[in-house]
Chains A and B, each alone.
Chain A
């Protein structure tokens, strides 16, 4: 969902490690779930349609607040299916539970929310149902290509995209106007703007970078056109953090920013960070399109001071964007009623009524083209942002996302060691390239232990 992989506190750091242990225990095995019946002639998607009219009870694990309202709409439409919404924990917490329950053979829900970055590891270990066998691949054209690319893994479809987080640059209009700086369109301009902000007040920064947030750095690499993680077949993984051209661009820009102390290495979502966001210590927050709610809820006193602009570009002629966060809804093989579970997951994330409700009542940034291209959605002025029609910027940001990004089949583990490797370099303003190489080495070592065939560069 809208979480960045590492956006969490002390407690979950341990959980992430434990999860990797649990993973290690699973060893990428079959997970002991029931296997789905081979698609019996044309009946697979018909069975899903039929399921909507038959009595069934489903358990849905999700941590999206307000999603009950969307689920209530489903129940009003299909009263035979009872859906129990359970908030079993967020992100890594929930994955730990999910994997333990799958391994134990009981206690898992029918349907579960899984973030894009974690989906490949569930998919490759067959811990989630291949929805293509139930006709879900027919939904492909309803979704933004980048969102669909995140659930189409290894030739199958392992989740229905729920929300996305196209990157955008949220910036303090008041600070930019005061210093007479235009919102930077390129990364070169961004560095210039950073220098001006620093020159105005040595305590201020153009932005912060979280030394513990692998997802944030992944997004910046993605936005630079990078694709350092690749999985092919069942177990071929390549990690090219040392040689990927996108990674190199990221290193050059952010190495400069960190080296000249133009950005602040500061963990996000902390007391201090929010204070900086509120006080104007940070002028920019580059993050996913889900960010407005966080700003509105946490620093209401900055109302009217924010605006949103597209991400700075490396090549302004060929704008490229990335995702940050976003999640899908997957079906767990343990489910006793897989067709009903698939039908529910499909309706929840692709029915126009549901998608609108998810956006308006649960605050999710859409993954479907229908809503992303909807004029009313795009033209809605956002009062907190001084009346700016922010969905136009965010919708365009979504359209510009480079669709071929892949996460590792053990990204949750990789993210858990980010802080000890790349995070150290970010914190020390040091050698990003060397740290990325160390991260790559440790990722490769873990992957090999898990039985993957690693190639790196």
Chain B
């Protein structure tokens, strides 16, 4: 059950990859179709499980078949319970996650775009070294940095504040690397040169020309960062203590830990709340993916220029 929160990310990410890499073929291949169907089932089954079980009462949860709906359809009552449990803390967590994701991922994508563009298009001393450092940074998992990050933030008094989650989320070495590679091809030097001849300042060139050419890359990085911050668990777990600042991942896991040790007191049955909460928590990510993916695909064409 704990894996539920992690599963949707893999699901959505996989779907994205398929979409972008699937070769557009004319004829139909039964083998490929079968493989696709299996993959589709693999991706969708956990989601279906989540949906089916979110609609059950606590009593049905452990007494009816897992991959189908229970006796009564209890989804809306479960949603109401989830939203109101513990003075509506779920909504607060939801808001926190949105804040961390929008500000964190948006900021990370923007910074990565600016940085990647600069690395790709400007020649300055130390450029190669800087790029090597970025490459190295990719290989350090965020989890390993969580404890040092805590110590650092503790020194400047930012522990247990939203900043402790937001600031690290703004750094995305992988996004920077991606944008550096993407900008090298997507922004032709000739356009920059002609813009300079026309008298445009560097920032204006970036804002009006480069940013548009980089839009598909930007959206890609945004999606990656969005998924990463939405599902971020370990960093907020370490740096936040007050449940009021928890994101959904940490909050839902707290509920799960509670249910798994019978510590939810004498009256609360939290399993159905966890399931419903997990379901609600992946909805925005799915919407973001569907909406942003369109920009991503249409953007691929706008980057081309006749050289």
Q: Write the residues of chain A forming the contact surface with B, with a CB cutoff of 8 angstroms.
A: 1-4, 7-12, 14-15, 18, 21-22, 25, 61, 63-66, 86-91, 93, 96-97, 100-101, 103-107, 109, 269-271, 274-275, 277-279, 290-291, 293-294, 296-301, 325, 360-363
Contacts and interface: CB of A to CB of B under 8 A. Distances in A.
B67 to A, nearest CB: 11
B258 A9 contact: no
Contacts of B62: 271, 274-275, 277-278, 298-299
Instruction: Determine which residue in A8, A9, A101, A294 has the highest number of CB atoms from chain B within 10 A of its CB, and name it.
Output: A9
Nearest to A64: B263
B35 interface: no
Contacts, number: 164
Interface stretch (B170-178, B204-212, B234-242): B234-242
B147 A22 contact: yes
B264 A65 contact: yes
Contacts of A325: 261
B154 A106 contact: yes
Interface string B157-191: 10110000000000000000000000000000000
B58 A105 contact: no
Contact of A104 (B63, B150, B269): B150
A18 B234 contact: yes
A91 B157 CA distance: 25
B41 interface: no
A86 B242 CA distance: 6
B88 interface: no
B263 A101 contact: no
B263 A63 contact: yes
A103 B151 contact: yes
A63 B260 CA distance: 12
A332 B259 CA distance: 27
A294 B62 CA distance: 13
Given A61-B241, A107-B154, A297-B269, A87 B254 contact: yes
B237 A106 contact: no
Nearest to B5: A11
B6 interface: yes
Contacts of A361: 265-266
Given A8-B2, A11-B2, A297 B241 contact: no
A107 B160 contact: yes
B4 to A, nearest CB: 9
24 contacts: A1-B261, A2-B262, A3-B263, A9-B260, A11-B2, A11-B253, A64-B263, A65-B258, A65-B264, A65-B265, A97-B237, A101-B154, A101-B241, A274-B62, A278-B62, A290-B262, A293-B262, A297-B259, A297-B262, A297-B264, A297-B270, A298-B269, A360-B266, A361-B265
A9 B2 contact: yes
Nearest to B257: A90
A306 to B, nearest CB: 14
Contact of A14 (B143, B259, B264, B266): B143
Q: Which 7 A-B pairs have the closest CB atoms?
A: A9-B2, A294-B262, A104-B154, A90-B257, A66-B265, A65-B265, A3-B261
B154 A90 contact: no
Interface in B226-262: 233-234, 237-238, 241-243, 250, 253-254, 256-262
Given A9-B3, A105-B154, 12 more contacts: A66-B266, A86-B241, A86-B243, A88-B242, A96-B238, A109-B241, A290-B262, A293-B264, A293-B266, A300-B269, A361-B266, A362-B266
A103 B250 CA distance: 22
B1 interface: yes
A88 B258 contact: no
Contact of A18 (B66, B143, B159): B143
Contacts of B154: 101, 104-107
B100 interface: no
B271 A298 contact: yes
Nearest to A107: B159
Contacts of A278: 62-63
Contacts of B270: 297
B158 to A, nearest CB: 10
B268 interface: yes
Contacts of B150: 100-101, 104
Given A86-B241, A275-B62, A363 B265 contact: yes
B260 A7 contact: yes
B58 A89 contact: no
A2 B263 contact: yes
Nearest to B159: A107
A93 B150 CA distance: 15
B99 to A, nearest CB: 20
A247 to B, nearest CB: 26
Contacts of A61: 241
A3 B263 CA distance: 8
A274 B61 CA distance: 9
Contacts of A301: 59, 63
Given A1-B263, A106-B159, A9 B242 contact: no
A110 to B, nearest CB: 13
A298 B58 contact: yes
Interface string B261-282: 1111110111100000000000
A231 B58 CA distance: 44
A65 B268 contact: yes
Given A8-B2, A278-B63, A298-B62, A15 B260 contact: no
